[in-house]
Structure 1
Amino acid sequence: MRGNADDDEDLVEDHDAEHGDEYADPETYEEDPSSSYADDADDADDADHGDDGVDGVDAYDGGGGDDTAGANPDVFLDVPTLKVDEIDLDVEDLRAHVSLRAEVLDLLRLNVGADVSLGRVHLGISGVEAQAQLTVRLHHVAQIIDRVLTTLDRNPELLHELARGVGSAVQDVGLGARHAVGEVGTGAGRAVQEVGRGAGTAVQDVGEGAGTAVRDVGQGVGSVARDVGRGAGEAVQDVGGGAGRAVEDVGRETGRTVGSAGEAVGDTVEGAAESVAGAAEPVADVAESATGVTKAAASRPARAPRTRRVRGEDGKLPARSGRPRTARKPEDPP
């Protein structure tokens, strides 16, 4: 700010040289500033808030609005004289927040506020004289709130309606929670019921399958035993039939063999008789031959007994021993 003041020093001196006579002796205000400003404020308030603005309030409180209008304002700012020779303002970031908030349940909401925000502002002012007055009256806000409360006092059914709305909301929440819990319980019961049904069905199916398997096994065993009995009976029948057929065939063959044997015996006996008849003829020849042989044997010398050859360990027979043979004279035929 010092640098800015040095820059504006020439401007201030020129301004004082030109208008030095005017601001050397400022005017004096003979009237009382407070009284004049108060009268002006009352006139302005009456002009701004005429009969239209306070009729409802006056009708309610019986003309109390005039007393309120004449009372001291809630906010009063009076600047009778302001002279500025030099102002140098450098603001990076300035925020001002003034707020008034009034709420009465859901019936009334008042928000009065001012929000000022500045960012990097450079202001240079030299030789300024000003007169200002600020009057802020909030009695109408208080009257509005008072009237709302009085209305609620005279009409308590409004509170019942508001409470009924809150109760309905709570009831709806409770009903929703109860329905949710009921649905959860119903779903859980259905799930358990379905599980029980599934388990019962599974056990029933297992029992039916086991019974069917046992019945099938019994039927299979019975069929096998019946088939085995039938096969055994058929086998015994076939064996008996085969044995009977074999005996019959044996009997037949035996009869045939006996017949053939009888025929052969007959033929043999007949042939034997013929042979005997034929054999009687050479008996004389045999007798004659025997007589000749006896004679020859009587004339031959006695032979030595023959030794028997025994095989050796190698399995070969030993060689025959040489012996002299006598010359045999040819015999005359009989």
Structure 2
Amino acid sequence: MTKKFAGFTALPLAALALALPAAAAAQDQNRSQSRNQSPTVEYLSSTPADEQPDVLLDIPKLNVEEITLEVDNVEARLSLDARVANLVQLRAGADVSIGNVKLTIKGVEAQAALVVRLDNVRAIVERTLTTLEKNPEIIETLGNTLNNTVDTAGGVVNNTVSTVGNLTNSLLRQGQVLDLAGSGLQLVKETVNSAGQTVRQVRGGDGKLYEVVTDSANKILQSRAL
């Protein structure tokens, strides 16, 4: 039954009893949504798609009742390494060291957000790739540099082989009298073969072993590297 009193209408008690809990529940839901809406979600909602961050860490809610931390030594390293062939190398890092820390926290509620943008790094890499695409001679230059490096390494090997050959051709030349002390050669082993010739194993200044065969007059008959 509904009754009117001086300008307002009195609702039935049953309808009033249903309306009050519904309004309270709506208010609680609005407060809950407001609390759960983190700054990061709001940030992403207001940021255009082409400006979204590369890395996003969102901690919408953190409740801590009690934390006890005792640290003697902590090291943390964070690094970024971006490379394009041997042309561009970008490195960014953070190094943190903590020692002798004692921390006690009670009853904490917090929100945290980490936004990382790598636009500059991406732009540098993309510009480098574009430069390589428009100037292919750079790649050819890198190839020539690699060829020169290989040629240099080959020259070093050839020089080493030549050094060994020069040792056998100069100090251990056939018909020359073998002089171990004067030649800087170290005797390792000495035997006599079936022909009565002396066979010696000597170590040269290059650390390599050589076999030298001499006659009774100590003249070199033949020599070779072992």
Normalised by the length of structure 2, the TM-score is 0.51
**What is the aligned-residue identity percentage?**
38
**In the alignment, residue 139 of structure 2 is paired with which amino acid?**
L
**In the alignment, residue 126 of structure 1 is paired with which amino acid?**
K
CA gap 1:111/1:34 in 2 versus in 1, 3 angstroms: closer
Q: What is the CA distance between 1:107 and its match in structure 2?
A: 0.9
In structure 2, C-alpha distance between the alignment counterparts of 1:124 and 1:190, rounded to whole Å: 81
SS at match of 1:126: strand
Corresponding residue for 1:196?
A: 175
Matches within 5 A, 1:94-173: 94-173=74-153
The C-alpha deviation readout for 1:1-24, integer Å capped at 9, x for no partner, is xxxxxxxxxxxxxxxxxxxxxxxx
In structure 2, C-alpha distance between the alignment counterparts of 1:116 and 1:81, rounded to whole Å: 26
SS at match of 2:86: coil
8 Å Cα contact 2:76/2:95 also seen in 1: yes
Relative to total residues, which structure has the larger strand share, 1 or 2? 2
Mark the runs of 5 or more structure 2 residues left unpaired by the alignment. Answer: 1-30, 179-215, 218-226
The C-alpha deviation readout for 1:82-137, integer Å capped at 9, x for no partner, is 55453322234544443332222221112233344444431012344444322112
The match for 2:43 among 37, 44, 54 is 37
In structure 2, C-alpha distance between the alignment counterparts of 1:116 and 1:76, rounded to whole Å: 21
8 Å Cα contact 2:72/2:99 also seen in 1: yes
In structure 1, C-alpha distance between the alignment counterparts of 2:44 and 2:73, rounded to whole Å: 36
CA gap 1:81/1:192 in 2 versus in 1, 3 angstroms: closer
In structure 2, C-alpha distance between the alignment counterparts of 1:93 and 1:38, rounded to whole Å: 37
Q: What is the CA distance between 1:175 and its match in structure 2?
A: 1.3
The C-alpha deviation readout for 1:172-191, integer Å capped at 9, x for no partner, is 12112212222321331123
8 Å Cα contact 2:64/2:106 also seen in 1: yes
**In the alignment, residue 93 of structure 2 is paired with which amino acid?**
G
CA gap 1:178/1:29 in 2 versus in 1, 3 angstroms: same
In structure 2, C-alpha distance between the alignment counterparts of 1:144 and 1:154, rounded to whole Å: 15
**In the alignment, residue 137 of structure 1 is paired with which amino acid?**
R
The C-alpha deviation readout for 1:283-318, integer Å capped at 9, x for no partner, is xxxxxxxxxxxxxxxxxxxxxxxxxxxxxxxxxxxx
8 Å Cα contact 2:65/2:107 also seen in 1: yes
CA gap 1:192/1:30 in 2 versus in 1, 3 angstroms: closer
Relative to total residues, which structure has the larger helix share, 1 or 2? 1
8 Å Cα contact 2:39/2:113 also seen in 1: no
Matches within 5 A, 1:242-281: none
Matches within 5 A, 1:49-60: none
**Aligned residue pair count:** 149
Q: What is the CA distance between 1:157 and its match in structure 2?
A: 1.3
8 Å Cα contact 2:37/2:60 also seen in 1: no
In structure 1, C-alpha distance between the alignment counterparts of 2:83 and 2:36, rounded to whole Å: 47
Mark the runs of 5 or more structure 1 residues left unpaired by the alignment. Answer: 1-24, 43-65, 204-334
CA gap 1:134/1:197 in 2 versus in 1, 3 angstroms: closer
In structure 2, C-alpha distance between the alignment counterparts of 1:122 and 1:30, rounded to whole Å: 32
In structure 2, C-alpha distance between the alignment counterparts of 1:96 and 1:33, rounded to whole Å: 27
Matches within 5 A, 1:1-334: 33-34=39-40, 36-38=42-44, 42=47, 68=50, 70-71=51-52, 73-80=53-60, 82=62, 84-193=64-173, 196-198=175-177
